[in-house]
Amino acid sequence: MNRRTLLRSTLVGAAATLVLASCSSETSLPDGALGDPNNAQLTFWDNNAGPDRTPLYEELIRRFEAANPGIDIQYVGLPSDSAQQKYQTALAGGSAPDLGIVSTAYLAPLVAQDAVISLDDFMAASPQRDEYDAGILESARESGGGEHLFGLPYTSNNATLWYRADWFAEAGIEPPDTYDEFFEAAKDLTDKDDGRYGFTIRGGAGSIYPLLQYMFASTGIESFFEDGESTLNRPEMVDAIERFAALYDVATPTADVNNGFPQMVASFGGGSVAMMQHNLGSLSNHEKALGDKAGAVALPRNEDGKRTVMTDPFPSYTVFKSSKHQAAAWKFLEFMTSQESQAYWNERVGQIPVNKAARSAPEFASMPSVQAALAALDDPKTVLVTPPDYLPDFGKIVQVQMLGQWQKVLIGQLSAQDFADDFAEKLDRSMAKYVARQGK
């Protein structure tokens, strides 16, 4: 082999290597990213495993591993109601996974424990950085405390008003676009003798989040705190609570006071209520029970014509500080939030992709619930309110402490004013603790 042939072969080889290298990985990593991005064994925990979602992750993992033969993903599905406890125990025992899905509702404690890494540098170096929905990323930043992105969201699950399209058509009513129309429809569609109610109000487990979503949507108040004080006991809020609670047992079933998500879905799917408020995640339940009789619109507008959307807790991918393979973990996250993976996952669960390019996938066009939520998100008049998940006690206040109080309001043992004052005071106290801790 002469020198020229040798040189040519070397150049061709080098070019081929470069092309292959660029094909195998489109990821750009920041300096100092930990571990080999092309060779790792990663443990990945899913916080909401189940027969409907696990196969989707397994398929995406299969695709990722085929494209990245050096990386092996060990998927572990966790039951949704025990996932947080499992994360906390594993952290305390020093056995956290490399990466996992966490809800924004419990991201803050992980951040406070310094258990997860900031993804900002990875994001800044990523070729996909402009494809993500800026509003949702901002909301994720706020949930983690405001400054850094600790969790990469991959789906948005907006509050939705599900309604019986056939009953509305029979009654000649349009699905509500304002809260006045909503209350009117709830009363018009109630026929207690026939066992039909206009609405199902959530009184049992998980009832405070939807209540807050209603409170912000109907009043148009844009933030949980203004001038350092909670807005929850403003007079408009108290009026809104009173009006909502007045529906109970008038336009809703009496049993609602104890009902959580499964009972609410059963009432709606079983044909006893005309409307229910829940996020996009219940689509498959409604499709199974009602088919195309179930319609969906975004939560109604307030009096000013604005739509105020309080975001639901959403799942995010997080990378744990203890992981020795953070570079490979990011590569996996980038794959999972790529246009193709996002469309695949979200169109099967009926939620909104965070990767905006994925939203043009044809399947979304045939989902009224997703279209309604997207229209609300894209509307320039829409205001997004992020719940203060960063407060150390927020989860406890919402999920435990206020639950019994709300049930008392429903059955008339507590006034809306007292409820709102109590709620606001708890949040103010939690905020004071948070500020004190930040100041240290």
Partner 1 sequence: MTTTTDRPTVVLPEPDTTGTPRVRTKKPRLFSVGLPLALYLLFTLVPFYWMIVFAFRPAGSNSMLPWPLTFEHFDTVWNTLGFSFFFKNSLIVAALSLVLTTFVALATGYALARFKFRAKIPLVMALLCSQFVPGAMLLIPLFQVFREMNLVNNLTGLIVADTVFQLPLAAMLMAGFIAQIPVELEEAAMVDGCSRLRAFRIIMLPLLRPGLIAVGSFAFIGSWNNFLFGLMFISSQDKFTLPVGLSYTIGSYNVDFGVLAAGGLIAAVPVVAVFAVIQKYLVQGLSAGAVKG
Which residues contact partner 1 (rule: CB under 8 A)?
Answer: 43, 45, 48-53, 74-82, 85-86, 89-90, 92-95, 97, 261-262, 279, 281-282, 284-285, 288-289
Phi/psi at 301 (nearest 5 deg)?
-85, 160
Query: What is the distance between the alpha carbons of residues 198 and 75, in angstroms, rounded to a whole number?
Result: 43
Query: What is the distance between the alpha carbons of residues 349 and 314, in angstroms, rounded to a whole number?
Result: 14
Of 94 and 228, which has the nearer Cβ to partner 1?
Answer: 94
Of 25 and 80, which has the nearer Cβ to partner 1?
Answer: 80
Residues in the chain: 440
Of 175 and 281, which has the nearer Cβ to partner 1?
Answer: 281
Query: Angle at Cα 191 formed by Cα 190 and Cα 194, nearest 5°?
Result: 140
Mind giving me the DSSP string for 32-50?
A: T--S-TTSEEEEEEETT--
Query: What is the distance between the alpha carbons of residues 45 and 84, in angstroms, rounded to a whole number?
Result: 11
Q: Supply 103's token pair.
A: 């809800």
Token pair 């206040």 in the structure block, residue:
397
Of 232 and 264, which has the nearer Cβ to partner 1?
Answer: 264
Q: Supply 329's token pair.
A: 């973990």
In the complex, least distance from residue 272 CB atom to partner 1, rounded to whole angstroms: 13
Residue 51, SS3 per DSSP: coil
Of 145 and 260, which has the nearer Cβ to partner 1?
Answer: 260
In the complex, least distance from residue 429 CB atom to partner 1, rounded to whole angstroms: 27
Running DSSP on this structure, what letter comes out for residue 191?
Answer: B
In the complex, least distance from residue 403 CB atom to partner 1, rounded to whole angstroms: 17
In the complex, least distance from residue 65 CB atom to partner 1, rounded to whole angstroms: 16
Classify residue 229 by burial, with Cβ atoms within 10 Å: 0-12, 13-18, 19+: middle
Query: What is the distance between the alpha carbons of residues 321 and 93, in angstroms, rounded to a whole number?
Result: 14
Of 124 and 400, which has the nearer Cβ to partner 1?
Answer: 400
In the complex, least distance from residue 287 CB atom to partner 1, rounded to whole angstroms: 11
Phi/psi at 70 (nearest 5 deg)?
-80, -15
Of 112 and 125, which has the nearer Cβ to partner 1?
Answer: 112
Q: Are 339 and 26 in contact (CB under 8 A)?
A: no
Of 279 and 405, which has the nearer Cβ to partner 1?
Answer: 279
Question: Would you give the end-to-end CA distance of the chain in angstroms?
Answer: 71
In the complex, least distance from residue 49 CB atom to partner 1, rounded to whole angstroms: 6
Residue 144, SS3 per DSSP: coil
In the complex, least distance from residue 45 CB atom to partner 1, rounded to whole angstroms: 8
Query: What is the distance between the alpha carbons of residues 143 and 138, in angstroms, rounded to a whole number?
Result: 9
Q: What is the CA radius of gyration of the chain?
A: 24
Of 321 and 408, which has the nearer Cβ to partner 1?
Answer: 321
In the complex, least distance from residue 285 CB atom to partner 1, rounded to whole angstroms: 6
In the complex, least distance from residue 80 CB atom to partner 1, rounded to whole angstroms: 4
In the complex, least distance from residue 376 CB atom to partner 1, rounded to whole angstroms: 20
Listed in sequence order, the residues at least 6 apart from 141 whose beta carbon sits closer than 8 Å to its beta carbon are: 147, 148, 149
Of 159 and 221, which has the nearer Cβ to partner 1?
Answer: 159
